[in-house]
Protein backbone atom coordinates (compact mmCIF):
# COMPACT_ATOMS: atom_id res chain seq x y z
CA UNK A 1 0.00 0.00 0.00
CA UNK A 2 1.21 3.48 -0.88
CA UNK A 3 1.45 5.89 2.07
CA UNK A 4 1.42 9.66 2.38
CA UNK A 5 5.18 9.51 3.00
CA UNK A 6 5.51 7.80 -0.39
CA UNK A 7 3.47 10.60 -1.98
CA UNK A 8 5.80 13.19 -0.44
CA UNK A 9 8.83 11.26 -1.70
CA UNK A 10 7.35 10.96 -5.22
CA UNK A 11 7.06 14.74 -5.49
CA UNK A 12 10.07 15.83 -3.41
CA UNK A 13 12.12 17.08 -6.36
CA UNK A 14 9.28 18.78 -8.21
CA UNK A 15 9.76 22.56 -8.44
CA UNK A 16 7.86 24.58 -5.86
CA UNK A 17 6.34 21.64 -3.97
CA UNK A 18 5.97 21.93 -0.21
CA UNK A 19 4.41 19.56 2.28
CA UNK A 20 1.89 21.51 4.34
CA UNK A 21 -1.57 21.32 5.84
CA UNK A 22 -4.41 21.78 3.38
CA UNK A 23 -7.94 21.87 4.80
CA UNK A 24 -6.40 20.75 8.07
CA UNK A 25 -4.92 17.51 6.71
CA UNK A 26 -1.46 16.61 5.42
CA UNK A 27 -1.12 17.85 1.88
CA UNK A 28 1.08 19.09 -0.90
CA UNK A 29 1.11 22.55 -2.38
CA UNK A 30 2.80 24.10 -5.38
CA UNK A 31 3.33 27.82 -5.22
CA UNK A 32 1.00 27.91 -2.23
CA UNK A 33 -1.84 26.14 -4.08
CA UNK A 34 -2.99 22.74 -2.88
CA UNK A 35 -2.81 19.88 -5.35
CA UNK A 36 -2.98 16.75 -3.17
CA UNK A 37 -4.13 16.04 0.37
CA UNK A 38 -5.16 13.23 2.63
CA UNK A 39 -8.72 12.92 3.80
CA UNK A 40 -9.50 13.78 7.40
CA UNK A 41 -11.58 11.78 9.88
CA UNK A 42 -14.69 13.85 9.20
CA UNK A 43 -14.60 12.87 5.52
CA UNK A 44 -14.24 9.16 6.26
CA UNK A 45 -17.29 9.35 8.54
CA UNK A 46 -19.27 11.52 6.10
CA UNK A 47 -18.76 9.18 3.17
CA UNK A 48 -18.60 5.83 4.97
CA UNK A 49 -15.16 4.82 3.72
CA UNK A 50 -13.32 2.57 6.15
CA UNK A 51 -11.24 0.19 4.03
CA UNK A 52 -8.49 2.49 2.72
CA UNK A 53 -6.74 5.78 3.23
CA UNK A 54 -7.86 8.35 0.66
CA UNK A 55 -5.80 10.96 -1.19
CA UNK A 56 -7.53 13.83 -2.96
CA UNK A 57 -5.97 15.01 -6.22
CA UNK A 58 -7.27 17.57 -8.68
CA UNK A 59 -8.28 16.62 -12.20
CA UNK A 60 -9.92 18.38 -15.09
CA UNK A 61 -13.63 18.43 -14.30
CA UNK A 62 -14.48 17.62 -17.94
CA UNK A 63 -12.18 14.58 -17.96
CA UNK A 64 -13.29 13.34 -14.55
CA UNK A 65 -16.02 10.91 -15.74
CA UNK A 66 -13.63 9.20 -18.16
CA UNK A 67 -10.90 8.95 -15.53
CA UNK A 68 -13.32 7.43 -13.02
CA UNK A 69 -14.60 4.95 -15.60
CA UNK A 70 -11.13 3.82 -16.64
CA UNK A 71 -9.51 3.51 -13.21
CA UNK A 72 -11.08 0.21 -12.14
CA UNK A 73 -12.32 1.61 -8.82
CA UNK A 74 -8.94 3.03 -7.75
CA UNK A 75 -10.33 6.51 -8.37
CA UNK A 76 -13.75 7.42 -7.04
CA UNK A 77 -15.84 10.41 -6.14
CA UNK A 78 -18.57 11.27 -3.67
CA UNK A 79 -21.50 13.70 -3.83
CA UNK A 80 -19.33 16.26 -2.01
CA UNK A 81 -17.09 16.46 -5.11
CA UNK A 82 -19.91 16.76 -7.70
CA UNK A 83 -19.14 19.48 -10.24
CA UNK A 84 -15.54 19.69 -9.01
CA UNK A 85 -12.35 18.16 -10.38
CA UNK A 86 -11.53 16.46 -7.08
CA UNK A 87 -10.61 12.81 -7.57
CA UNK A 88 -10.34 10.42 -4.65
CA UNK A 89 -7.55 7.86 -4.76
CA UNK A 90 -7.83 4.55 -2.89
CA UNK A 91 -4.32 4.35 -1.44
CA UNK A 92 -4.68 0.63 -0.67
CA UNK A 93 -5.23 -0.14 -4.36
CA UNK A 94 -3.36 2.43 -6.43
CA UNK A 95 -0.35 1.41 -8.50
CA UNK A 96 2.57 3.74 -7.65
CA UNK A 97 3.21 4.53 -11.33
CA UNK A 98 -0.42 5.49 -11.84
CA UNK A 99 -0.31 7.61 -8.70
CA UNK A 100 2.66 9.57 -10.03
CA UNK A 101 0.56 10.31 -13.12
CA UNK A 102 -2.42 11.49 -11.06
CA UNK A 103 -0.13 13.67 -8.95
CA UNK A 104 1.54 15.14 -12.03
CA UNK A 105 -1.81 15.98 -13.63
CA UNK A 106 -2.91 17.68 -10.42
CA UNK A 107 0.41 19.52 -10.11
CA UNK A 108 0.10 20.78 -13.70
CA UNK A 109 -3.35 22.22 -13.01
CA UNK A 110 -2.06 24.26 -10.05
CA UNK A 111 1.56 25.19 -10.90
CA UNK A 112 2.54 28.49 -12.46
CA UNK A 113 3.93 28.62 -16.00
CA UNK A 114 7.40 29.27 -14.57
CA UNK A 115 7.23 26.20 -12.33
CA UNK A 116 5.88 24.06 -15.18
CA UNK A 117 8.81 25.12 -17.36
CA UNK A 118 11.23 24.17 -14.57
CA UNK A 119 9.39 20.85 -14.12
CA UNK A 120 9.55 20.05 -17.84
CA UNK A 121 13.23 21.01 -18.01
CA UNK A 122 14.20 18.74 -15.11
**Residue of 38, 26, 17, 32 lying closest to 104 (CA atoms):** 17
pLDDT at 91: 97
DSSP 66-108: HHHHHTTTSEE--GGGTTS-EEEEETTT--HHHHHHHHHHHHH
Reported pTM:
0.95
Residues 6+ away with beta carbon under 8 Å from 82: none
Q: What is the pLDDT of residues 46-79, one digit of tens each?
A: 999 999 999 999 999 999 999 999 999 999 999 9
pLDDT at 122: 86
User: Strand pairing of 54-58 and 86-90?
Assistant: antiparallel
Domains, the chain, ordered by start: 4-121 (3.90.1150.30)
Q: Count helices and strands (H / E) in the chain.
A: 5, 6
Amino acid sequence: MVTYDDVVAMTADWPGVTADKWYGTPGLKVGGKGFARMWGEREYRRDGVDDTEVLVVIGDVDEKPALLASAGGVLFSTPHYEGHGGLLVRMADVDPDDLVGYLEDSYRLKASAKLLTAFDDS
